[in-house]
A and B are shown apart, each in its own frame.
Chain A
Amino acid sequence: EAGVTQFPSHSVIEKGQTVTLRCDPISGHDNLYWYRRVMGKEIKFLLHFVKESKQDESGMPNNRFLAERTGGTYSTLKVQPAELEDSGVYFCASSQALGGSTQYFGPGTRLTVL
């Protein structure tokens, strides 16, 4: 069974540019999460999809971030326009059920904004 995959693994962009990160969850997992780790800080929750619906987007930092999950399969996270403070590692996770169900994480996308 394939795990959670993320693309790209690294992205280096200039301030003001747009970047789109992609996450493919484990097949059959309705729940998809995005997290971010800024250097030196803890991993923080961004948002949660159940199928194609946003269940909780309380962690999204501002309206420069747009997440979508069309068709309830893969998800994209777009940052437009990117700012220096957006640099960090963006993790995607998926889970089959809710509650204490294990969240399986992808390898992350390291975003550097210059």
Chain B
Amino acid sequence: AQSVTQLGSHVSVSEGALVLLRCNYSSSVPPYLFWYVQYPNQGLQLLLKYTSAATLVKGINGFEAEFKKSETSFHLTKPSAHMSDAAEYFCAVSDFNQAGTALIFGKGTTLSVSS
């Protein structure tokens, strides 16, 4: 069965610092991988997704993630944090080989950005 582990339920950074949110997945088949963000009082918004093309995926708002099969990881990074990045971030996986499957989410990581 597929699973997702997000290390750290809460990450705090200073404005301008590097953001690194960790995600490891478990899947017996090639996965699709996603990062979603939820701002306060809003729904989930897709940041980026990996669908077996380039292993380095660029998303919105300056975020990017690298698919590393050997490490079964898909960590999310941003070189310089902005106050507006404060939100909850979710890593998710779905089954590459089975069309239409549900997303399996990690528990989420809340990012706080201080000035």
**A residues bordering B, Cβ < 8 Å?**
3-4, 31, 33, 35, 41-45, 48, 50, 55-56, 59, 91, 93, 98-100, 102-108
In whole angstroms, how far apart are the Cα atoms of A43 and B107 in the complex?
A: 7
- CB<8 Å pairs between A and B, sample of 21: A4-B43, A33-B103, A35-B103, A41-B107, A42-B4, A42-B105, A44-B105, A45-B102, A45-B104, A56-B100, A91-B43, A98-B99, A99-B99, A99-B100, A100-B51, A102-B34, A102-B46, A103-B103, A105-B36, A106-B43, A107-B43
**B residues bordering A, Cβ < 8 Å?**
4, 32, 34, 36, 41-46, 49, 51-52, 90, 94, 96, 99-108
In whole angstroms, how far apart are the Cα atoms of A35 and B105 in the complex?
A: 10
Nearest A residue (CB) for B31: A100
Quick one: which of B42, B49, B90, B102 has the most chain A CB within 10 A? B102
Residues of B near A103 (CB, < 8 A) are 46, 103
* Pairwise interchain contact B43-A99, C-beta atoms closer than 8 A: no
